[in-house]
Amino acid sequence: MSNIKLFESKKVRSQWSEPQQKWYFSIVDVIEILTESPNPRKYWSVLKTRLKKEGSQLATNCSQLKMQSSDGKFYLTDV
């Protein structure tokens, strides 16, 4: 099941995982809302690089799922 959620009238791509019984949300969409960054993908890229340098274990907390983009195609997205 895949849905678009709204937060303060802004879209957040989301996907329900039946086996794990939890929701996944697009990190880039959440970053765009929280930071109001003009380029949330770049913001996330820089933040990931900094977190890795600090020794953060992103792989344990951050997965990738295919989600539909604004162009209608599906791409792996950090969730």
Nearest to 77 by CA among 35, 15, 1: 15
What does the pLDDT read at residue 24?
A: 92
Q: Where are the domains of the chain?
A: 2-78
pLDDT tens sequence across 5-53: 767 778 899 999 899 899 999 999 999 999 999 999 999 999 988 988 9
Distance, CA of 25 to CA of 4 (rounded, Å): 9
